[in-house]
Amino acid sequence: MTARQRDFSTPIDPVKLDRLAEVAVKVGLQLREGQDLLLTAPAVALPLVRRIAEHAYKAGAGLVTPLFSDEEVTLSRFRFGHGDSFDRAAHWLYQGMAKAFGANTARLAIVGDNPMLLSGEDPVKVARASKANSIAYQPALERIVNFDTNWNIIAYPSASWARQVFPEDAEDVAVAKLADAIFAASRVDSDDAVAAWDKHNAVLRERTEWLNGQRFKALQLFGDRAPTLMIGLADGHEWVGGASTAKNGITCNPNIPTEEVFTTPHCRRVYGHVVPPSRCPIRATLIDNIAVRFEEGRIVEATASRGEEVLKQGARHRRRRAPALAKWRWCRIPRRSQRAGCCSSTRCLTKMPLPTSRSASATRMLCRWWKAHARADSRRKAATRASFTSTG
């Protein structure tokens, strides 16, 4: 198909959707001949799943196994489920996934659920269900966190998500706008998207090489709503970003889109405050007016005017100590994203490979807050300033 063949009866351009599938398989996963593929997706992302299956089989996939979730099935649980339901999880399924990843199956995740799906549900039930699921998912997640196999996350413009991002538009218009934003950020709006990714990976590599050459000791960040945050960097830290090589030897692009380069903070040298300027979605719940304070690398205060229980549960359930910052990432928001206006949302919903599995929830929250912060600031041109302290 060419761009000229676009069927305007659908808000999602099928040519670009097909290119996104191709990029996921050829760039995101670098799927190898004979490799199986395990794919998770919202049920509404079926059109993208079908395109991915075709590209995967053309690339020589052994077997493509899609696992679908559905927002209405999820909501049924919170609305009609009895008491014990919220402590249950599909251990058998996650253990199976771990086994598949251990046998060199590649993993692709399509995100696209409404980030506010559970914001109207009982936060205690949400926290219990999330905790049970996190515990059950651990064996499979570890295979991904440890980068045992090649993996990739991409986004699909579902209607429920589009309504959240463009609440003032008709649904079709909102979906079209979100789709175009995802396609632009994912670099599938050019005819040779695979070549565009090769070029982008080269730019990110150049950036990480420069940062690694500087041997910075700490980063100091200033915002107009929060006091200073000082992030000490781990001794021997390394900046990485874009394409990475998994332990099975395959060089993949875990996040599509991605603009970030990231590194490991020092676990005892983070001081200061994080105050995001707007509501944040955490575990599909809206959290208002979050304020967090770090001392010696640990969160010592975390408050919110709404959703505080979900916020604290998230930070609490996998550790006994106060959560620490496990990763720091720095994004240059490119012109294409500013033009699209919502690509940062895409990135906010993607999950990142973490250098350590500790404090994952807290870190993801922080990443989101800082992105929201940086985005809001860039919009009003009051820049969040980052200063680099050189080790000299």
Contacts with its own copies, residue ranges (CB under 8 A): 33-34, 36, 43, 46, 49-50, 53-54, 57-58, 60-68, 70, 72-73, 76-77, 79-82, 84-85, 88-90, 92-93, 95-97, 99-100, 103, 105
**Rounded-to-integer distance, Cα 330 and Cα 19, Å:** 27
Instruction: Give least dist CB 260 to its own copies, A.
Output: 32
Return the number of the residue (41 or 274) whose C-beta is nearest its own copies: 41
**At 299, is the secondary structure helix, strand, or coil?**
strand
Q: Which letter, b or e, does each residue of 293-314 get, where b requires 16 or more Cβ atoms within 10 Å of its Cβ? A: bbeebbbeebebebbbbbbebb
Return the number of the residue (105 or 350) whose C-beta is nearest its own copies: 105
Return the number of the residue (50 or 332) whose C-beta is nearest its own copies: 50
**Rounded-to-integer distance, Cα 27 and Cα 143, Å:** 20
Instruction: Give least dist CB 105 to its own copies, A.
Output: 8
Question: Is the separation of the CB atoms in 377 and 223 below 8 Å?
Answer: yes
Return the number of the residue (36 or 260) whose C-beta is nearest its own copies: 36
Return the number of the residue (46 or 291) whose C-beta is nearest its own copies: 46
Q: Is 367 left (phi over 0), alpha (psi -120 to 50) or beta?
A: alpha
DSSP secondary-structure letter at 53? H
Residues 6+ apart with CB under 8 A from 308: 287, 302
Instruction: Give least dist CB 55 to its own copies, A.
Output: 9
SS (H, E, C) 355-385: CCCCCHHHHHHHHHHHHHHHHHHHHCCCCCE
**Which strand (E) or helix (H) includes residue 11?**
none
Return the number of the residue (53 or 155) whose C-beta is nearest its own copies: 53
Q: How many C-beta neighbours within 10 Å does residue 195 have?
A: 12
Question: Is the separation of the CB atoms in 114 and 161 below 8 Å?
Answer: yes
Return the number of the residue (101 or 370) whose C-beta is nearest its own copies: 101
**Rounded-to-integer distance, Cα 134 and Cα 136, Å:** 5
Residue at token pair 């991002």: 165
Return the number of the residue (100 or 325) whose C-beta is nearest its own copies: 100
Return the number of the residue (91 or 316) whose C-beta is nearest its own copies: 91
Instruction: Give least dist CB 140 to its own copies, A.
Output: 10
Instruction: Give least dist CB 365 to its own copies, A.
Output: 26
Instruction: Give least dist CB 165 to its own copies, A.
Output: 24
Instruction: Give least dist CB 78 to its own copies, A.
Output: 9
Going across the sheet that includes 298-303, the strands are: 298-303, 291-295, 265-274, 229-233, 216-222, 385-390
Instruction: Give least dist CB 161 to its own copies, A.
Output: 18
Instruction: Give least dist CB 339 to its own copies, A.
Output: 34
Return the number of the residue (67 or 382) whose C-beta is nearest its own copies: 67
Instruction: Give least dist CB 56 to its own copies, A.
Output: 8
Instruction: Give least dist CB 186 to its own copies, A.
Output: 22
Q: Are strands 229-233 and 285-287 parallel, antiparallel or unpaired?
A: unpaired
**Nearest of 18, 52, 342 to residue 188 by alpha carbon:** 18
Return the number of the residue (72 or 206) whose C-beta is nearest its own copies: 72
**Rounded-to-integer distance, Cα 229 and Cα 29, Å:** 35
Q: Are strands 216-222 and 229-233 parallel, antiparallel or unpaired?
A: antiparallel
Chain centre to alpha carbon of residue 80? 30
